């Protein structure tokens, strides 16, 4: 393997680590991948690469929430069969996930061409400021809604937040967590609802983009760099998510306000 190939692999590992670390936290993973690619001289990463790394992040989230996913699926089916009240909360939670997925799902299909367009560093900086301001505004909100207290209106409003995150540079996790807290959810409920919403929307993106992945002309040449990027993203998403769950548990979400402002200023100065 030549020196250039090794350098490319190292760069792909770095990109994978950036994607994995920023996917769970409210700072825009796509924006950070663009920043890292620019710094490393890789240029714009293609749609195929985005599908690959997003799939890795999805696998990590699925693994973390595997018990919740199984419980929700089994209890929802049991409720439909038996109508027992003991299964009703889990059934309602799944129903609300479906409601919350609709806005981003519909807009994602309608605006797919726009979403695929690249954005400038200035746009990313502005969106980081927007995210930071939103995080600051909800910093003192102490919600009291658990999973059993969510209403259709709450789910739909959070779904609209996820739809807003289709805008390049807006963090998906940030938009949904901010929306969830704004409608009165507890922080642990907001976190769980946010990432349960992430699963169907991410899975849909993977399925829709799978044909593009199969038609990638340079798959053989990029097999090893893509593989190491996938592994790096998978592992980093897992550890970043575990870390972020601790941040949310301790009510320290406001820290990301300062980070968004800091990175936004750096982008405006140096790019």
The predicted-structure confidence for 69-81, as pLDDT tens digits, reads as follows: 999 999 999 999 9
pTM of full prediction above 0.85: yes
The predicted-structure confidence for 127-186, as pLDDT tens digits, reads as follows: 999 999 999 999 888 888 988 889 999 999 999 999 988 876 788 999 999 999 999 999
* Spatial distance between the Cα atoms of 118 and 126, rounded to a whole number of angstroms: 15
Integer angstrom CA distances of residue 31 from 69, 99, 122, 237, 263? 29, 27, 11, 16, 11
Maximum separation of any 2 CA atoms in the chain, in Å: 63
Q: What is the DSSP letter of 63?
A: H
Q: Which residue has the tokens 């760099």?
A: 225
Please determine, for residue 96, whether its predicted confidence score (pLDDT) is greater than 90.
yes
Integer angstrom CA distances of residue 38 from 32, 114, 132, 244? 10, 21, 23, 26
Please determine, for residue 28, whether its predicted confidence score (pLDDT) is greater than 50.
yes
pLDDT mean over 190-201: 93
Residues 6+ apart with CB under 8 A from 13: 228, 229, 232
pLDDT mean over 202-211: 79
Q: Which has the minimum average pLDDT: 106-110, 192-196, 260-264?
A: 106-110
Neighbour-count burial of 223, counting CB atoms closer than 10 A to its CB (0-12 exposed, 13-18 middle, 19+ buried)? exposed
Residues 6+ apart with CB under 8 A from 231: 16, 56
The pLDDT of residue 208 = 73
The pLDDT of residue 234 = 97
Question: Is residue 188 a contact partner of residue 133, using CB atoms and an 8 Å limit?
Answer: no
């Amino acid at each position: 393997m030549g020196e250039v190939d090794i350098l490319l692999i190292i760069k792909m590992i770095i990109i994978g680590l950036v994607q994995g670390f920023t996917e769970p936290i409210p700072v825009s993973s796509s924006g950070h991948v663009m920043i890292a690619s620019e710094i490393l001289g890789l240029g714009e990463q293609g749609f195929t690469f985005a599908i690959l790394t997003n799939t890795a992040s999805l696998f990590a989230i699925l693994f973390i929430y595997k018990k919740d996913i199984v419980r929700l699926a089994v209890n929802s089916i049991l409720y439909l069969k038996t109508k027992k009240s003991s299964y009703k909360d889990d059934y309602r939670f799944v129903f609300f996930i479906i409601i919350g997925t609709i806005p981003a799902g519909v807009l994602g299909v309608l605006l797919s061409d726009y979403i695929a367009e690249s954005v400038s560093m200035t746009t990313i900086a502005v969106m980081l400021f927007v995210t930071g301001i939103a995080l600051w505004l909800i910093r003192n909100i102490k919600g009291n809604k658990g999973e059993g207290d969510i209403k259709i209106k709450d789910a739909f409003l959070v779904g609209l937040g996820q739809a807003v995150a289709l805008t390049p540079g807006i963090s998906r996790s940030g938009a949904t967590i901010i929306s969830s807290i704004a409608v009165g959810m507890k922080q642990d409920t907001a976190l769980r609802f946010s990432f349960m919403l992430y699963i169907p929307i991410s899975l849909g993106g993977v399925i829709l983009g799978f044909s593009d992945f199969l038609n990638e002309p340079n798959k053989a040449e990029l097999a090893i760099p893509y593989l190491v990027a996938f592994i790096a993203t998978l592992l980093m998403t897992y550890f970043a998510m575990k870390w972020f769950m601790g941040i949310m548990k301790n009510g320290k979400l406001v820290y990301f306000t300062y980070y968004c402002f800091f990175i936004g200023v750096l982008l405006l100065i140096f790019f």
